[in-house]
Amino acid sequence: MMARLAAILLAVAALFAAPALAVMPDERLADPAMEERARVISKDLRCMVCQNQSIDDSDAPLAKDLRVIVRERLMAGDSNREVIDFVVARYGEFVLLRPRMNLNTVALWASPLVLVLGGIALIAIRRRRAESLATIATGLTPEEEAQLAEVLRQTQPKS
């Protein structure tokens, strides 16, 4: 029992430690402020191999190369925006974990709103239709109800 618990704890610890091991000591910059800037930028760039991880979290060789490029550009004096623009120019908008708002991505950003509004409209239409059907079914005058009862009585088979 204790061995199983220790194995589970070790596995959980390994899961949490894996992203921390992605940035190797030889990649880190000596200046803590520059290293922090590099980490901030790296968290917003997608690993092109893993695709659902940032390059800061990925241990893929391409992610390592991108981390090195980010640090080289920072050391060359580029601003955070210039570093990101440089990487986007090479790899395209897909490299951004959070796509920029522009004409190419308007549909991507607007689709959740459109889906929610469409769902609300669909619910309203169905509710209105159900209410109108209920009104039609129960909106008979006493004379119409008597006629309906007479027709139903005449059409039922006699047993």
Residue 19 has pLDDT above 60, yes or no: no
Name the residue with tokens 């909106």.
139
The Cα-based distances of 154 to 89, 115, 143, 148 in angstroms read 81, 51, 17, 10
Does residue 12 have a pLDDT over 50? yes
Least confident window among 3-12, 41-50, 57-66, 114-123: 3-12
91-95-99-103 Cα dihedral, nearest 10 degrees: 20
- Dihedral angle at the C-alpha atoms of 109, 113, 118, 119, nearest 10 degrees? 120
Whether the CA torsion 98, 52, 36, 16 is positive or negative: it is positive
Which amino acid is located at 53 in the chain?
Q
pTM: 0.54
SS3 23: coil
In degrees rounded to 5, what are phi and psi of residue 85? -60, -40
Mapped onto helix, strand or coil, the DSSP state of residue 54 is strand
Higher pLDDT, 5 or 70: 70
Is 89 in a helix, a strand, or coil? Answer: helix
pLDDT surpasses 50 at 127: yes
Q: How would residue 115 be classed by pLDDT, with cut points 50, 70 and 90?
A: very high
Q: Which residues pair with 45 in a beta bridge?
A: 96
Q: What is the pLDDT of residues 147-159, one digit of tens each?
A: 888 888 888 777 6
Q: What does pLDDT average to over the chain?
A: 82
Average pLDDT over residues 90-105: 83
> Which of 31, 38, 98 is CA-nearest to residue 68?
38
CATH architecture of 2-100: Orthogonal Bundle (1.10)
